[in-house]
């Protein structure tokens, strides 16, 4: 009977976490942010999302502190599920005007401008490349688009897909780089809060750039989650989730 009670309590806690994640994932739930937001703003659900993640992190952290492998493995799975709940905010800042980029483009192309807006350069990566649970991961992108003579106001969007260490997709989000005019050069990126309890490992990230809803560029990068101390059993369980 004592062993049954020891198992029942953590399983009830996991059910609570699961219900919180289900509410987060539901349309209009606390973690719902939509596909796009205006560049430079944060999703309106950020505060609620942060509070929920703090609660999930506390429960998961307690479960990881004890229990058998089944309970600990389920807790690791719950912490990975919490990543699907986080609000990925996006910010961007214009560093070159449309006219400056057009002038550079003409120099490199014998005085000619493209008829349709053209991607000149796209680079992205994480700074730093590794974070701990409870911290924020930040991508840093450089985007340069030359406006076309027949397409002076292009729609430019950046997309990020986050994957589990085993390759399963966690979440994909696409954001508008600029709500005014996408041409010019911009520095920006996504902010990804890492919930407490997320297991360490290498998390693949795939980014893509869209110009007038057409994919014109992309990069594959990696984010490393590190912890000061992680039992070998946790590392083995994390690979399974």
160 and 189 share one domain: yes
Residue with tokens 């730093």: 128
**pLDDT at residue 241, rounded to an integer:** 45
Asked whether the whole model's pTM tops 0.75, one would answer no
Give DSSP secondary structure letters for 66-116.
Answer: SS-HHHHHHHHHHHHHHHTTS--EEEEEEEE-HHHHHHHHHHHTTT---SS
Mean predicted lDDT score pLDDT of the chain: 75
Q: Which two tokens stand for residue 72?
A: 């600990």
The Cα-based distances of 225 to 6, 13, 19, 59, 79 in angstroms read: 30, 25, 26, 20, 13
75 and 93 share one domain: no
Model pLDDT for residues 115-167, shown as the tens digit of each residue: 999 999 999 999 888 999 889 999 999 999 999 999 999 999 999 999 999 99
97 and 118 share one domain: yes
In this structure, what CATH number is given to the domain that contains residue 100?
A: 2.60.40.1930
Model pLDDT for residues 45-70, shown as the tens digit of each residue: 343 354 455 444 444 444 444 555 44
pLDDT above 60: residue 17:
no
Q: Of 46, 68, 83, which one is at a domain's C-terminal end?
A: 83
What pairing do the DSSP bridges indicate for beta strands 169-176 and 184-193? unpaired
**pLDDT at residue 85, rounded to an integer:** 82
Q: Of 83, 114, 137, which one is at a domain's C-terminal end?
A: 83
pLDDT above 80: residue 173:
yes
68 and 53 share one domain: yes
pLDDT above 80: residue 202:
yes
Model pLDDT for residues 82-122, shown as the tens digit of each residue: 777 888 999 999 999 999 999 999 999 999 999 999 999 99
Q: Of 68, 83, 98, which one is at a domain's C-terminal end?
A: 83
Of residues 177 and 232, the one with the higher pLDDT is 177
69 and 108 share one domain: no
Question: Three-class SS of residue 129?
Answer: coil
Is position 100 within any domain? yes
């Amino acid at each position: 009977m004592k062993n049954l009670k020891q198992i029942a309590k953590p399983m009830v806690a996991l059910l609570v976490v699961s219900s919180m994640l289900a509410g987060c994932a539901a349309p209009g739930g606390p973690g719902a942010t939509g596909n796009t937001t205006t560049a430079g703003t944060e999703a309106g659900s950020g505060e609620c999302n942060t509070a929920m993640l703090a609660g999930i992190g506390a429960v998961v952290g307690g479960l990881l502190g004890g229990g058998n492998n089944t309970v600990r493995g389920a807790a690791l799975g719950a912490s990975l599920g919490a990543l699907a709940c986080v609000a990925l905010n996006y910010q961007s800042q214009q560093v070159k005007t449309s006219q400056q980029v057009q002038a550079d483009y003409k120099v490199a192309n014998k005085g000619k401008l493209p008829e349709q807006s053209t991607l000149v350069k796209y680079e992205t990566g994480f700074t730093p490349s590794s974070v701990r649970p409870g911290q924020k991961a930040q991508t840093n992108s450089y985007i340069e688009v030359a406006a076309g003579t027949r397409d002076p106001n292009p729609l430019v969007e950046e997309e990020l897909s986050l994957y589990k260490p085993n390759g399963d997709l966690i979440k994909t989000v696409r954001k508008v780089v600029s709500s005014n005019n996408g041409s010019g050069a911009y520095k920006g990126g996504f902010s990804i809060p890492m919930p407490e309890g997320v297991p360490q490992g290498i998390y693949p990230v795939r980014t893509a750039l869209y110009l007038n809803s057409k994919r014109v560029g992309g990069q594959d990068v990696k984010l490393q989650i590190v912890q000061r101390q992680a039992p070998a059993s946790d590392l083995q369980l994390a690979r399974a989730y």
